[in-house]
């Protein structure tokens, strides 16, 4: 049996959360792997405190954003996604609250 380090465990939890969001939104989860890889390389210091589900929710909102604008979007969402998840009873509530933030960008 292979032992997983903490980063591998974290990435697997993020991937699982992305998969759940994608099933709910009827999207392809493979569309998010390159975004995740990029933000881990470039913005790791900004996202390191996010829960796996919070990071997955953030990824859903970076899909149609230019890479050059990721930093701006991450700055808006990074301190709010986990709170939105905790305060929302449904995925619909999460997306409505995220949409309100998106409109402020």
* Residues 101/75, Cβ–Cβ less than 8 Å: no
Query: What percent of the chain clears pLDDT 90, i.e. is strictly above it?
Result: 81
Q: How far is CA 31 from CA 8, 62, 93, in A?
A: 19, 11, 23
Structure tokens at 101: 């933030």
pTM above 0.85, yes or no: yes
**Residue 2 predicted with pLDDT over 60:** no
Please tell me the distance from the alpha carbon of residue 97 to that of residue 101, in angstroms, as a whole number. Answer: 7
Q: How far apart are CA 95 and CA 6, in angstroms?
A: 28
Mean pLDDT of 50-72: 95
Tell me: the pLDDT tens digits for 78-89?
999 999 999 999
Which pLDDT tens digit goes with each residue over 32-44? 999 999 999 999 9
């Amino acid at each position: 049996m292979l032992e997983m380090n903490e980063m591998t465990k974290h990435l697997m939890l993020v991937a699982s959360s992305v998969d759940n969001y994608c099933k709910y939104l009827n999207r392809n989860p493979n569309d998010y792997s390159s975004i995740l890889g990029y933000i881990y390389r470039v913005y790791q210091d900004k996202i390191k405190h996010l829960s796996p589900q919070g990071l997955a929710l953030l990824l859903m909102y970076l899909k149609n954003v230019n890479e050059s604008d990721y930093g701006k979007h991450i700055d808006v969402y990074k301190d709010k996604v986990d709170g939105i998840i905790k305060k929302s009873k449904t995925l619909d509530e999460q997306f409505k609250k995220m949409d309100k933030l998106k409109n402020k960008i």
